[in-house]
Structure 1
Amino acid sequence: MSSSGFVGNVQHKAQEVAKEDLDKARALVADAAKSRAYLYPFKGIYYFLTHRALWKPFYSRIIPTLSLSAAVISGMFFFTYLPQLAILVFVNGPLAVLTTVVLILNESSVIVNLVSRNFLLQDALLDTFDGTLVSRNETGVVSEGRQLKSGRDPMERLGKILKSPFDKFSPKALIRYIIYLPLNFIPVAGTAIFIVLQGRSRGQSVHGRYFQLKKWSNSRQSEWLETHTGAYSAFGTIATLLEMIPFASMFFAFTNTVGAALWAADIEAHESQMDNTTAPSLREAAKKAE
């Protein structure tokens, strides 16, 4: 094969790969838009603000978490802004002033999440997720993971935890973050892609507690997440952007948890409707297939 023929073949293959990736991206965006999962972080904000009973875990952690956020953000800007700006200015030009700020906010968010979710907020976010499900009358699901008391206040009904809480910060998530970090050297688009990739990773974990309560195996969780990749990526991206806002990240961590619980409650409601309209023989076949 001549050199020109080889180059032409490579270009043809590259075009095929690019078209395939573009089609996948379009399908992902279409799936995300159709699912409307990107609305749940905003629904979580509204629901949290209008249900004062859910505020108790938030109040109990507000002072130490805000102190942590202030220390991390101020420290990151003081020690890393100029060094990172000096690097990014070569690839982003004048936009480096903005992209460096976005990068540091993202880095600070990762550090705050790493520390707070492991040491300060884990139990509070767990209670918020379970309490939101209880407020949506999904007590049957919650009772699979903790004891429930009688009463009307959803938070006061939460009893002893029977199953371990949310998974702690995954080392894989930190490794992915470090691997994707160089994307920020690409002007504008690189930072946007970085945030979307972070959102996709974040989306994979938002229903960890729900899957636990449902007693889903790892294989079933993986299958579900793969089938709904667009939806979880959309939720995770919006959640990531909200939690990047300085000093408000803790508030949005709680509202995003509420949004994830509202989404889980809607999934439960949909499954109940499906169960009620599915013939017994088909339900039995589905159980056997699992």
Structure 2
Amino acid sequence: MSDVQLPGDFGAGSAPSKLPYSDNVPENLRAATARLQFPPSYVIVGVYRLFTDKNLIRPAWDKCKHGVVRGAGIALAWAVLTFKIQRKFVEVFLIKSPSVTGLSRDAVFGIHLPFDLPTYATLMFISTQATAILTFFLSKNIRIARDRVYEQTIISRGKTSEFWGPYVEEWDHPPKPSTSIFTRFAGSVFGRIVIKMALAPLHLLPVVGIVISAWLRALGTGRHLHRTYFKAKRMTEDQVSVFVEERKWDYRAFGFAAALLEGLPIIGLVFTVSNRIGAAMWAHDLEKRQHYVAQIKGQQGAGKKE
């Protein structure tokens, strides 16, 4: 029995893969395995499904539309009334202090731009404030909408709460997760809010600022978006840490794509909903893999007894 090579076994003639049990997977897992090779694809899938699946977009919009109307009205009034004042602030305190900010009227860190930088910086300031205003009016309802689209996505895959099994360790020698205070802080809800606020000034830098901010928030965002998955599997904090550490670059890549979209002013709020759909799709594929690994380990255990 020990001479039989099981699907996913690292036997002779089989090249080791990044994750164990990833080779020779059965037909019904090949599509999921292919998707798992590029986690950012789930972010794209989330956006696509949100705008094409009426069972997702309609309930989410119905829950948020009143808050959007109220928040947008106040945000628009705020922008009109304060634009000139804020532009003056940018010119006096930022553009004229290049030694501190690296900004000038026509350039960012010496790179000349084809548009008026004070106007751009002012628009970024106001759009960030408008996002905060919308978030205030949507805070409770958009959280409900995110939870509902996650649940509906799982239901659309034909799964119930029984689908989520106990945690299965896929590595014989799992890596030791980081236990730094900053890592735990960055993974918490409060930590994500603080870090997002601290990185907000980076958005003044055209394009580059949003990218840098998204990268710094990537791992925490990825882990945060799967908190429902970890809860469904009843995973302990240590198990979650090991699970994420084993897929650190997967979570970083997924989190970067998600944070990049969420970091966009105003429209980023829409992507906070679609990212939950993408997270649910990824969780579904990860759980199918967990079932497969549990099955293989069970077969291997039975073989050793024989």
The bucket for the TM-score relative to the shorter chain is 0.5 to 0.7
Query: Which residue does the alignment assign to 2:259?
Result: 240
Conserved? CA contact 2:211–2:260, under 8 Å: no
Q: 1:116 aligns with which of 130, 134, 138?
A: 138
What is the match of residue 23 of structure 1? none
CA deviations over 1:23-80 (Å, ceiling 9, x no partner) = xxxxxxxxxx984111111111222333222234213223234235525754368368
**Could you say what the CA RMSD is over the residues aligned between the two structures, in angstroms?**
3.6
Change (3 A) 1:42 1:86: farther
- Shift of residue 216, structure 1, vs aligned partner: 0.8
| Residue of structure 2 in register with 1:148 after alignment | none
Q: Are the structure 2 counterparts of residues 234 and 127 from structure 1 closer, same or farther at C-alpha, using a change threshold of 3 Å? A: same
Unaligned runs of 5+ in 1: 1-32, 145-168, 286-290
Q: Name 2:59's counterpart in structure 1.
A: 57
Matched, 1:210 2:232: no
- Structure 2 CA distance for partners of 1:276 and 1:172, relative to 1, 3 Å: same
In structure 2, the partner of 1:18 is none
**Alignment of structure 1 residues 218-257 onto 2, 5 Å:** 218-257=237-276
Residue identity (%): 22
Structure 1 equivalent of residue 212 of structure 2: 193
Q: How far is the alpha carbon of 1:217 from its aligned partner?
A: 0.9
Contact 1:132 1:258 in 2 (8 A): yes
Q: Which runs of 5+ in 2 are unaligned?
A: 1-34, 109-116, 166-187
Measured against aligned partners, the alpha-carbon deviations of 1:113-152 in whole angstroms (never above 9, x if no partner) come to 46634x22222211210110111122145789xxxxxxxx
Provide TM-score, normalisation by structure 1. Answer: 0.63
- Per the alignment, in what secondary structure is the counterpart of residue 215 of structure 1? coil
2:25 corresponds in structure 1 to none
2-structure distance, mates of 1:173, 1:110: 15
Q: CA 1:203 to 1:105, structure 2 compared with 1: closer, same or farther past 3 Å?
A: farther
TM-fit CA distance, 1:222? 2.0
TM-score, scaled to structure 2 = 0.60
**Equivalent residue for 2:68?**
66
- 1:135 corresponds to which residue? 156
Stretch deviating more after TM superposition (95-104 or 62-71):
95-104
| Counterparts of 2:53 and 2:228, CA distance in 1 | 21
More helix per residue: 1
After TM superposition, list the pairs within 5 Å mapping 1:63-212 onto structure 2: 63-67=65-69, 69-71=71-73, 73-74=75-76, 75=78, 78=82, 81-82=86-87, 83-84=89-90, 86-89=92-95, 90=98, 91-93=102-104, 94=106, 95=108, 96-97=117-118, 98=120, 101-102=123-124, 105-106=127-128, 108-109=130-131, 112-113=134-135, 116-117=138-139, 119-141=140-162, 170-181=189-200, 183=202, 189-212=208-231
Quick check: 2:43–2:257 contact (8 Å CA) kept in 1?
yes
Structure 1 counterpart of 2:47: 45
SS of the equivalent of 2:43 reads helix
CA offsets 1:68-101 (integer angstroms, 9 cap, x no match): 5525754368368423454442322224444554
* Number of equivalent positions: 227
